[in-house]
């Protein structure tokens, strides 16, 4: 076994025969690692192929616009689509301002090696690694148990809790904490691409720091903020564990219309149909259709984010 560079530089190593062997042997590591790539491509193709082939036949206008019927064995998934859209919309409203302001603070107000920056960064990285089920527990304990019950104690009639129970507002706030790192990281990336001259020009014209941030930096960082928002939505739309106890419902005969209503959601709908349906064979077509809708939704959002980001990177290169 040759272990150091010196082994390869001994005089005999440059024999033509040996040189040929060396080159030939290079095929082996290249082949093995290429095989790994091909296996991954194969896995992805099987998953996507299976879902598209089985799901495409179910998709119709009725499927997308009708509520489930007959114990989810017939009908559509409109309430789940509606609930998902409402959920991520509320989540976005909560997470974008916090994420963007955090990124601005880290990038514009503090030095990168200061204690404050490091501790906030540490928190962001750890937040990104917390298991999603732990967010579910947190949402239940904090938003429903602490905030929701707190509101009930102060404002609701005794015995008729209005907020201390699973609801779309608590689910979306839980998701907004889960997706906070996504927005921060994406915004920061955008802030790094803004040329310093722009800021300097703004200061030179007499603008204050806040004016510069508001009028120059935020508009310039908009593509990055948008990317972060889209990635957060894509991530949020696919998460089930955090919303299981904080607001998602098996089945609801009505659409959520108030912040403290429960809601149906695509991912949770998939979970319920796949594991709780009395006859899985009968719900299977609708199940596949729902999976396809969720998959198309998340992939479209991801592609959009990648597209905007690559445009943004091109802008930097052109400067």
Partner 1 sequence: MSFKPKSRIKEFLGEKIIAITAFSALLAIILIFAFIFKESLPIFYDAEIQEEASLNKMTFKQEYIEGRDPKWSWQPNSDIPKYSLLPLFIGTLKAALVAMLFAIPLGVGAAIYSAEFASRRMREMIKPVIELLAGIPSVVLGFFALIVLATFLQDFFNFTYRLNAVNAGIALGIAVIPIIFTMAEDAMTSVPQSLRDAALALGASPWQVSLTVVLPTALPGIAAGIVLGFGRAIGETMIVLMASGNAAIISGSITDSIRTISATIAAELAEVVFGSAHYNVIFFLGTILFIFTFIVNMGGELVLRRLKERFQGKII
Task: Please report whether residue 254 would count as binding partner 1 according to CB under 8 A.
Answer: no
Q: Please report which helix (H) or strand (E) contains residue 68, including its range.
A: strand 68-69
Give the nearer residue to partner 1 in terms of CB position, either 119 or 316: 119
Task: Please report whether residue 244 would count as binding partner 1 according to CB under 8 A.
Answer: yes
Length of the chain: 319
Answer for which of 53, 93, 133, 314 binds partner 1 (CB under 8 A) is 133
Backbone region of residue 252 per phi and psi (left: phi > 0; alpha: psi in -120 to 50; beta: other values): beta
DSSP-derived secondary structure for 155-205: HSPTT--SSSS--HHHHHHHHHHHHHHHHHHHHHHHHHHS-HHHHHHHHHT
Rounded to whole angstroms, the Cα distance separating 38 from 45 reads 10
CB of 95 closer than 8 Å to CB of 176: yes
Closest CA to 242 of 166, 297, 162: 166
Give the nearer residue to partner 1 in terms of CB position, either 69 or 276: 276
Choose the binding region for partner 1 from 60-68, 84-92, 134-142, 188-196 (rule: CB under 8 A).
Answer: 134-142
Task: Please report whether residue 177 would count as binding partner 1 according to CB under 8 A.
Answer: yes
Give the nearer residue to partner 1 in terms of CB position, either 261 or 265: 265
Least distance from partner 1 to the Cβ atom of residue 156, Å: 18
Closest CA to 194 of 210, 218, 227: 218
Handedness of CA 132, 137, 143, 148 (dihedral sign): positive
Rounded to whole angstroms, the Cα distance separating 7 from 4 reads 6
Task: Please report whether residue 233 would count as binding partner 1 according to CB under 8 A.
Answer: no
Task: Please report whether residue 284 would count as binding partner 1 according to CB under 8 A.
Answer: yes
Task: Please report whether residue 310 would count as binding partner 1 according to CB under 8 A.
Answer: no
Please list every residue from 14 through 33 that binds partner 1, using CB under 8 A: 14, 22-23, 25-26, 29-30, 32-33
Task: Please report whether residue 9 would count as binding partner 1 according to CB under 8 A.
Answer: yes
Rounded to whole angstroms, the Cα distance separating 133 from 273 reads 20
Give the other-Cβ count within 10 Å of 209's Cβ. 13
Answer for which of 75, 161, 238, 285 binds partner 1 (CB under 8 A) is 238
Please list every residue from 68 through 127 that binds partner 1, using CB under 8 A: 97-98, 101-102, 104-106, 109, 119-120, 122-127
Closest CA to 176 of 249, 241, 99: 99
Give the nearer residue to partner 1 in terms of CB position, either 66 or 149: 149
CB of 84 closer than 8 Å to CB of 266: yes
Least distance from partner 1 to the Cβ atom of residue 139, Å: 9
Please list every residue from 36 through 75 that binds partner 1, using CB under 8 A: 36-37, 39-41, 43-44, 47-48, 50-51
Answer for which of 88, 171, 184, 226 binds partner 1 (CB under 8 A) is 184
Answer for which of 93, 146, 150, 316 binds partner 1 (CB under 8 A) is 146
Rounded to whole angstroms, the Cα distance separating 120 from 293 reads 37
Answer for which of 225, 237, 308, 312 binds partner 1 (CB under 8 A) is 237
Query: How many residues at the interface with partner 1, by CB under 8 A?
Result: 97
Give the nearer residue to partner 1 in terms of CB position, either 122 or 259: 122
Strand, coil or helix: 75 = strand
């Amino acid at each position: 076994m040759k272990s150091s560079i010196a082994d390869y530089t001994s005089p005999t190593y440059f024999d033509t025969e040996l040189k040929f062997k060396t080159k030939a042997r290079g095929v082996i590591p290249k082949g093995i690692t290429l095989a790994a790539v091909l296996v991954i491509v194969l896995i992805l193709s099987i998953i996507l192929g299976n879902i598209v082939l089985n799901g495409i036949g179910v998709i119709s206008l009725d499927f997308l616009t009708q509520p489930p019927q007959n114990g989810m064995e017939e009908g559509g998934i409109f309430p789940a689509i509606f609930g998902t859209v409402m959920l991520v919309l509320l989540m976005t409203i909560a997470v974008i301002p916090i994420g963007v302001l955090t990124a601005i603070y880290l990038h514009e107000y503090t030095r990168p090696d200061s204690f404050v920056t490091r501790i906030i960064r540490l928190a962001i990285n750890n937040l990104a690694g917390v298991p999603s089920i732990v967010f579910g527990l947190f949402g239940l304990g904090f938003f429903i148990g602490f905030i929701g019950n707190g509101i009930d104690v102060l404002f609701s009639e005794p015995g008729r809790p209005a907020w201390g129970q699973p609801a779309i507002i608590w689910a979306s706030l839980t998701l907004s904490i889960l997706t906070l790192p996504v927005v921060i990281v994406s915004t920061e990336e955008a802030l790094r691409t803004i040329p310093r001259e722009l800021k300097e020009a703004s200061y030179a014209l007499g603008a204050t720091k806040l004016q510069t941030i508001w009028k120059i930096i935020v508009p310039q960082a908009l593509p990055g903020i948008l990317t972060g928002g889209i990635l957060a939505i894509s991530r949020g739309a696919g998460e089930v564990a955090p919303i299981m106890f904080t607001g998602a419902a098996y089945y609801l005969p009505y659409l959520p219309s108030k912040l403290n209503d429960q809601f149906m959601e695509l991912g949770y709908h998939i979970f319920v149909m796949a594991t709780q349906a009395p006859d899985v064979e009968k719900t299977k077509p609708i199940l596949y259709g729902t999976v396809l809708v969720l998959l198309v939704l998340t992939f479209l959002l991801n592609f959009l984010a990648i597209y905007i980001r690559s445009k943004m990177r091109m802008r930097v290169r052109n400067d």
